[in-house]
Amino acid sequence: MDEVTLSVLPQVDAAIMVVMAQAPFSESERDFLETKLLTNDLGRIIFVVTGIDRFNNPADVEKGVNYIRDRISKHVLQRAKEQYGDNSPEYEVYLKKIGTPKVFGLSAYQALQANNGNAEDNGMLVVFLNLSQPWRSF
């Protein structure tokens, strides 16, 4: 993390946090999320799991994305419990505010291949093109 990135974080309205499918939500990513990004509203963070084309089948993709979503939720809720206390009014407000983390699987390679007409669109192009949808509600 360089100084430029850290200096602009307090000013951003939203963020995309990229997580590799093969190294799902590592300790350094968890630390960055908790100490840097969660100073803002988690609802403004979209998590993108890249490299999903390396999974063997679509069921593994779904399983991997769900695993990462669960890990993020677990760490966020633990941080909230530590910060506000379990079942406190502040904790309940925080839970309502963050909701379920927005986690999307993405294979840029597959999306580009489909977009260029070099491969059959297996749905990744739709994910790639619609990734901007959540930003419209901010």
Q: Which of 22-31, 40-49, 73-82, 127-136 is least confident? A: 127-136
CB count in 10 Å sphere of residue 138: 9
- Direct distance between the N- and C-terminal alpha carbons of the chain, in angstroms, rounded to an integer: 26
Tokens 């063997």 locate to: 56
| Overall average pLDDT of the 17-25 stretch | 82
Query: Residue 104's pLDDT band (boundaries 50, 70, 90)?
Result: confident
At residue 93, does pLDDT exceed 70? Answer: yes
Q: Which of 120, 95, 112, 131 is nearest to 16 (CA)?
A: 131
| Overall average pLDDT of the 104-110 stretch | 81
Query: Residue 88's pLDDT band (boundaries 50, 70, 90)?
Result: very high
User: For 87, left (φ over 0), alpha (ψ -120 to 50), or beta?
Assistant: left
